[in-house]
Amino acid sequence: MYAVTSPSERAAAEPSRLHGLLHVSAGPRGLRALEQRAPLRALLPRVPPGEPLTACLTNTAGGLVGGDSLTVAVEAEPGGRLLAMAQAAEKVYRSLGPDVRMDVTLTAGEGAWLEWLPQETILFDAARLRRRTRLDVAEGGRALAGEMVVLGRTAHGETVRTGLLRDAWEVRVGGRLAWMDALHLEGDLRRAVDASSGFGGAVAAATAVFVGPDLEDLRDGLRDLPTEEGAMRGATVVGGVLVARWLGHDAQAMRCDFGRAWAWLRHRAEGLPEKLPRLWHV
């Protein structure tokens, strides 16, 4: 017997293509550590006065395929202030089998401010993504973190039909497990996407969580913000965490709404400028 394997099948069967790694941490006097391994890189742009130290993450590979893994650790040490953001939307291409793994660990120490500002993760049809985001906030720390996913290259009229999208959150406050979430779609994705109680036909979804003081006031303020046409936004306080969620029938409208709510939150919660970094809009 001869095994017949096409080049593309062999490529897909390789245990891993890329293992990107990035670790950035900030203390009260600025950058404390920066470690990076291709294809992940961090730029530290000059920021306007009043803005925290900003790390802008890029994936120089220009997208992810099955078998790739990215490991990101972002830390604001006690008294430190750090904004980490993605420079561009991340594309996850069709997989012939293996999953893309993204492992994000966010840590905010006592008295620290940490911001993890996402761009969209765009899932191509038949892409497979498992992402886990762990947020660990010490007593007296504040953190704002989010993720956005878009189902298909919607600008090209593409939707996703099969594949895997797993986006899991684990939030700890003062060491105690406070809130978990696990979005899991697999197989025939249309079933969940089209279901009235599933995605209700939406093409994009987003989540933001905030840990810090005055959660109920922030929730009420978020609810009073006008919502962009084509997007739905809700907010709740559960397990000592403010959770905001979005669904978009129009991915661009949802992004807009997400950005506006984010700017409002960072301003109201931390007194930061009520806008997002210029790089986020590029």
Residues that bind other proteins (CB under 8 A): 166, 168, 170, 177-186, 191-192, 195-200, 202, 205, 223, 232, 234-239, 243, 245, 247
In the block, tokens 């990101």 appear at: 72
Strands 142-151 and 113-117: parallel
Q: Which is nearer to other proteins, 31 or 247 (CB)?
A: 247
Of the CA atoms within 13 Å of residue 158, those in its CB half-sphere come to 15
CB 151 to other proteins: min, Å: 11
Q: Which is nearer to other proteins, 184 or 278 (CB)?
A: 184
Q: Which is nearer to other proteins, 186 or 274 (CB)?
A: 186
CB 212 to other proteins: min, Å: 17
Contact 233, 245 (CB under 8 A): yes
Q: Which is nearer to other proteins, 94 or 245 (CB)?
A: 245
CB 164 to other proteins: min, Å: 9
Copy the structure tokens of residue 236. 């709740």
CA 142 to chain centroid: 17
CB 154 to other proteins: min, Å: 17
CB 202 to other proteins: min, Å: 8
Q: Which is nearer to other proteins, 186 or 214 (CB)?
A: 186
In the block, tokens 């941490």 appear at: 25
CB 251 to other proteins: min, Å: 14
CB 123 to other proteins: min, Å: 13
Q: Which is nearer to other proteins, 91 or 233 (CB)?
A: 233
Q: How many residues are given for the chain?
A: 282
How far apart, in Å, are the Cα atoms of 121 and each of 4, 29, 59, 88, 153? 35, 32, 12, 9, 10
Q: Which is nearer to other proteins, 26 or 149 (CB)?
A: 149
For the chain, the 3-state helix, strand and coil shares in percent, each to the nearest 5, are: 20, 45, 35
Query: What are residue 175's phi and psi, to 5 degrees?
Result: 90, -15
Q: Which is nearer to other proteins, 54 or 207 (CB)?
A: 207
At a CB cut-off of 8 Å and minimum separation 6, what does 42 contact? Answer: 22, 24, 34, 36, 55, 56, 57, 58, 84
| d(C-alpha 42, C-alpha 201), whole Å | 36
Copy the structure tokens of residue 85. 């953001």
Closest CA to 158 of 129, 200, 193, 185: 193
CB 210 to other proteins: min, Å: 15
